[in-house]
Amino acid sequence: MVGAGPGAPDLITVRGAQLLARADIVLYDALVTPEMLALCAGAELISVGKRSGQRSTAQAVINQQLVECARRAAVVVRLKGGDPMLFGRADEELRALEAEGIAVEIVPGITTAVAAAAATRQPLTKRGVARSVAFFTSSTAPDEPDHPALPETDTLVQYMGGREAAATAERLLAEGRRRDLPVVVVENCSRADQRILRMTLATLAHGLEMAHGPMLVMIGEALVRREHQAPD
């Protein structure tokens, strides 16, 4: 399992790129870019992408494909956007492989929240202001409530937040968070078409315009622009 990082092909780890170059088969997510797939030009490529609101490969099918590929090839890479161990359904895939006695190596990747903080030059923590960060997503398992409780922390980072960000903002306002709390939204983080939006919590509650790629929403006092900070 290899983390592809946030999108830019040169942000994958050296170890990850080496394994892609050696791979016989690569099963890749929808958010993996063509530029990233160019690193494994000699491999058989299998798309197993999942995109919100679109038809996608069922997780049980992906699990079975991983097992079947591992039985017929020496080096199989499951290439996941960001980091495999964060919102990547790694637990389900690991269970399927481990049940069949298949050896697995996990290569971490740069998760989008860290890349977004770098792209916006906004640390997610700040001495005396923010000492805790929570990563969360609105996606839930079938047996979970539609709207699980929001974490109580200084900086909130919502993955896959495009359509759900307004509801998050409304709930935070209802909980007493101030209306002018800073919000930074990053679309297509680290890619050539990256877009950065800055607003307040009250503005976010009105919703975001149509997105053309994955959106990450960062909320908290730590996101206040510095006095002499360069423009995005």
- Structural domains of the chain ordered from first start: 2-99 (3.40.1010.10), 112-223 (3.30.950.10)
29 included as an active-site residue: yes
Among the listed residues 10, 24, 29, 80, the single catalytic one is 29
CA distance 119 to 74: 37
10-residue averages of pLDDT along the chain (232 residues): 96 97 97 94 91 70 97 97 95 97 97 97 96 84 59 91 91 95 97 96 94 93 95 92
Q: Which of 106, 105, 112 is nearest to 11 (CA)?
A: 112
User: CA-CA distance, 184 to 201, in Å (whole number)?
Assistant: 10
pLDDT in tens, 65-94: 999 999 999 999 999 999 999 999 999 999
pLDDT at 55: 57
Strand order in the sheet with 25-28: 2-3, 76-80, 25-28, 44-47
pLDDT of residue 142: 47
Share of the chain above pLDDT 90, in %: 84
pLDDT digits (tens, 9 = 90+) for 98-123: 999 999 999 999 999 999 999 999 99
Which residue is catalytic, options 24, 50, 154, 232?
50
Establish whether 154 is a catalytic residue: no
pLDDT score at 4: 97
The predicted model scores a pTM of: 0.90
